């Protein structure tokens, strides 16, 4: 997590030699990936493939952002990757996910937006956004060969980790190593209930998620 003071900039050391994915948690400013700069606000996302430096600059309000970093580690490189997006991009989605079978699936199933994924050029650090409306669950699952750090981005809800549901709120972060069960749900219902939003993604990406959505996991 990076807090950037008003008028200041942040560039991860060695960012051009690794992949970086960013989600703005609060504040406004700009995100530059190589020579392409875009204004950002809460919910904005940026993807910096290997070879392209990342620079975040905060305006008068300052900025707080989550930054995932990893070496490319021999992964394929997208030919024309998407560099700027947002958690709310509904272009490519996974609906009706039933989990991977270790825990009974809930009937009311949440939607996941694929923000950065192999289909738009992300080769390792993919970014997904789970939107759990009141009463919905993104069912418990695991990634056999992938780590995942995922964030409670908006609202209050629960995340599943290993063998239990944990109460969380916006700003909380959970980590699941390969083979560890995890998921997210919004147990709240009624007139005052609001959506619960999470974001993150397995690294390296898990082809099973894209297969479940009916998409190829080939990096483009």
Instruction: Write out pLDDT tens, residues 85-115.
Output: 999 999 999 999 999 999 999 999 999 999 9
116: its two tokens: 């950065």
Dihedral pair phi/psi, residue 51, rounded to 5°: 95, -10
Q: What is the pLDDT of residues 156-206, one digit of tens each?
A: 999 999 999 999 999 999 999 999 999 999 999 999 999 999 999 999 999
pLDDT value at residue 74? 74
CA distances from 143 to 81, 116, 165, 179, 184 (A): 24, 18, 18, 5, 15
pLDDT beyond 70 at 70: yes
Q: Are 45 and 127 in contact (CB under 8 A)?
A: yes
166/169 Cα distance (integer angstroms): 10
Query: Which are the contacts of 151, defined by CB distance < 8 A and separation ≥ 6?
Result: 23, 25, 66, 171, 172, 173, 198, 199, 200
Higher pLDDT, 14 or 128: 128
Kindly indicate whether the domain formed by 93-212 is annotated with CATH number 2.60.120.10.
yes
Q: Are 185 and 161 in contact (CB under 8 A)?
A: no
Q: SS3 of 209, please?
A: helix
Q: What's the alpha-carbon Rg for the chain, to the nearest Å?
A: 17
CATH class of residue range 2-72: mainly beta
pLDDT beyond 70 at 73: no
Q: Indicate if 93-212 has the same CATH topology as 2-72.
A: yes
Q: SS3 of 177, please?
A: coil
Segment 49-61 mean pLDDT: 93
96: its two tokens: 């009706």
Spell out the domain ranges in the chain. Answer: 2-72, 93-212
């Amino acid at each position: 997590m990076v807090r950037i003071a008003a008028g200041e900039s942040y560039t991860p050391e060695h960012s051009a030699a690794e992949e970086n994915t960013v989600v703005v948690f609060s504040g406004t400013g700009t995100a530059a990936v190589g020579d392409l700069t875009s204004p950002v606000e809460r919910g904005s996302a940026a993807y910096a493939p290997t070879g392209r430096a990342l620079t975040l600059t905060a305006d008068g309000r300052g900025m707080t952002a989550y930054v995932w970093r990893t070496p490319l580690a021999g992964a394929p490189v997208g030919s024309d990757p998407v560099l700027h997006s947002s958690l709310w991009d509904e272009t490519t989605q996974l609906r009706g996910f039933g989990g991977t079978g270790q825990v009974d699936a809930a009937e009311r199933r949440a939607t996941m937006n694929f923000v950065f994924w192999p289909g738009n050029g992300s080769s390792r650090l993919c970014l997904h956004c789970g939107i759990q409306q009141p009463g919905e669950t993104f069912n418990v699952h695991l990634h056999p060969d992938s780590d995942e750090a995922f964030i409670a981005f908006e609202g209050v809800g629960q995340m599943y980790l290993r063998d239990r549901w944990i109460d969380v709120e916006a700003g909380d972060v959970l980590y699941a190593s390969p083979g560890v069960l995890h998921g997210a749900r919004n147990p709240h219902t009624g007139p005052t209930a609001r959506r619960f939003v999470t974001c993150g993604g397995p690294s390296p990406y898990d082809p099973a998620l894209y297969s479940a959505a009916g998409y190829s996991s080939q990096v483009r």
